Structure 1
């Protein structure tokens, strides 16, 4: 059967992940250029009816050259986590943001514990708490990245 870019792929499958990686690389032609393979071979990597598999090396090259987060998100989920990209920390912005978030962070952590203690969290409440938690986690991770850079002498 011939490859069709719109073939349905099983949600969460390796073929769906590869299709996303190829899309984020700018399409089949650009991905083929990056991995130094024919376009037909790159099509096959994402085709659920073809047994061809992309190598981890090629997938990493696509990730490095495009900044795609597809693999990181998938691997983090497989490991029971979440991948959350952060912007490189700017010293002045990070310091003022950290100071402003300090009080808010304590309030947010209290909200999370209270919500978990009553064991009765609605979907709306969970969504609001996730938005707050993600914003605070980004600040904490950015601060961690800054301290890691200082520790490495950068």
Structure 2
């Protein structure tokens, strides 16, 4: 009886959600919100939203800390969206290290703002991000102007 319980527990451990990878995606969204909004204060409402991930396949390797979603990957959190062919998150000691988003193109969106590239890399340690050109040889971004803050207590029209 004890052996059966132990085997059942070990099986369920293998099926647990990769919380470090999910945390990495939440951190990635936080970075992207800051990139699009220009201010961290705009993060709060969406940061509290759940993360929804859809993909054809997910590969989880707890030994190496790699989580790979591939095949029409769609990730949503609040107003933020990532559409890609593949999203790979690497963790070490339960801490996110890197995320790589690839597609033809990979597209990040928040409201009317967007960013697209063939490859988008994020380094959680260095808090740096880089992107490689899409099939047309370009990285493309659209960032809408933000309303100016009111001055002297007056509202903007």
Determine if the TM-score, normalized by the shorter chain, exceeds 0.5. Answer: no
TM-score, length-scaled by structure 1: 0.20
TM-score, length-scaled by structure 2: 0.20
Structure with a larger share of its residues in strand: 2
Structure with a larger share of its residues in helix: 1
Please say which structure displays the higher CA radius of gyration: 1
